[in-house]
Amino acid sequence: MKAARWHGLKDIRVEEVEEPVVSEGMVKIEVEWGGICGSDLHEYVSGPMTIPVKEPHPLTGQLAPVILGHEFAGRVVEIGERVSNVQIGDRVTVEPVLTCGTCIHCQSGRYNLCPKLGFHGLTSNGGGFSEYTTVPAQLVHKLPDNMSFEEGAVVEPAAVAVYAVRQSGLKVGDTCAVFGAGPIGLLLIQAAKAAGASKIIAVEVSESRLTKAEALGATHLINPKTDKTVDMIHHITGNRGVDVSYEAAGVEASFLEAIESVKPDGETVIVSLWENPVSFNPNLLVLKERKIRSSCAYRHVFPEVISLIASGKINAKGLISKKVTLDQIVEEGFNTLLTDKSHSKILVTPKSENMN
């Protein structure tokens, strides 16, 4: 079968690999659509970040090259012994978190904090950028009949946003600012709206992304190229500052402004992954009793996220800016995302008939 494999920095190849064989407790999925994630892009231009290249991954034993793709949906075509939660023919998406199941974090339900944390499609011997993939049955979630496979491929990044908002102190009626209107930022805007935020300020340097942010629920727009971000946010909030800011850009300037934009005793939540370290003056926190927290992936939110998308409270289709085939994934997928910031979510299919 065909699959897109990461071999190294700027080296992703679509090549023939062996079709996976289902085993006990596993589910085989025929992939319909998968999304290119920001973490996939980080691996492409700056990796390896999480992909194992020197030491085998402690859970999977995998070393590069790896099949990419952890945001995907498809149809169950085979199930292994002792699988009872899905049947052949079910339409599904996958929660791609791989954990040990035995550490104190896993045992307490905080499995996203497992010290051996891995991801199907990054640290495993399979991924969604392929014709077929096999995953543990407990990671499979059924899609309702009114959800498309394309929407199913957006469940995973939407879970990142919903979990980040849930972890924050945002309450109904609160104000918030979202720094970065890429895919996660656009989903944070929708998750904050669903959580009852009264004002949602999008901060983004791309005008096309700001337009999309407004369409998806942002009440105020700020472009740091032309506006003084912190001053604007304080003006919008009556010189109070937002209750919560979400950092989804992954650059130092937005990180600092995200802190300065929150009210005294307010909170900044870091959602982005970082290619480089940052430096900042802790007095930005101390003198205002501001707080910083981070949000890692998700836990226990997939059913809720599927419901939010199925009900229309999160517009997954509104995030999708382009669709390509697996053979086009490098030039029309990864390279397009690097050069054209008007794009948000590019979906990939191994099936040429899906493009008709």
150 and 165, same domain (yes or no)? no
Rounded mean pLDDT, 47-75: 96
Residue 306, in any domain of the structure:
no
- Dihedral (C-alpha) 8, 54, 116, 274: value to the nearest 10 degrees? -50
In whole angstroms, give the CA distance from residue 188 to residue 18: 38
Cβ atoms of 33 and 348 within 8 Å: the answer is: yes
Cβ atoms of 132 and 30 within 8 Å: the answer is: yes
Overall domain count for the chain:
2
Rounded mean pLDDT, 268-275: 94
Tell me how far CA of residue 91 lies from CA of 18, 141, 209, in angstroms: 23, 9, 31
pLDDT computed for residue 125 by the predictor: 85
Residue 7, in any domain of the structure:
yes
Find the CATH number of the domain harbouring 128.
Answer: 3.90.180.10
Domain C-terminal end among 263, 294, 325:
294
Domain C-terminal end among 294, 325, 345:
294
179 and 96, same domain (yes or no)? no
Find the CATH number of the domain harbouring 248.
Answer: 3.40.50.720
Tell me how far CA of residue 66 lies from CA of 74, 119, 223, in angstroms: 20, 11, 38
Domain hosting residue 276, numbered range: 161-294
14 and 31, same domain (yes or no)? yes
pLDDT computed for residue 45 by the predictor: 94
DSSP state of 143: P
Tens-digit pLDDT profile for residues 133-161: 999 999 999 999 999 999 999 999 999 99
171 and 287, same domain (yes or no)? yes
Residue 48, in any domain of the structure:
yes
Which of left, alpha, beta for 278 (phi over 0: left; psi -120 to 50: alpha)? beta
38 and 99, same domain (yes or no)? yes
145 and 177, same domain (yes or no)? no
Side chain identity, residue 19: E
The enclosing H or E element of 221 equals strand 220-222
DSSP state of 240: S
Contacts of 14 (CB under 8 A, 6+ apart): 2, 3, 4, 5, 326, 327, 329, 330
pLDDT computed for residue 97 by the predictor: 97
Residue 303, in any domain of the structure:
no
338 and 219, same domain (yes or no)? no
270 and 332, same domain (yes or no)? no
pLDDT computed for residue 18 by the predictor: 97
81 and 168, same domain (yes or no)? no
Tens-digit pLDDT profile for residues 194-215: 999 999 999 999 999 999 999 9
Report the predicted TM-score, pTM, of the whole model to 2 decimal places.
0.97
* pLDDT surpasses 90 at 341: no
Residue 255, in any domain of the structure:
yes
286 and 334, same domain (yes or no)? no
Residue 309, in any domain of the structure:
no
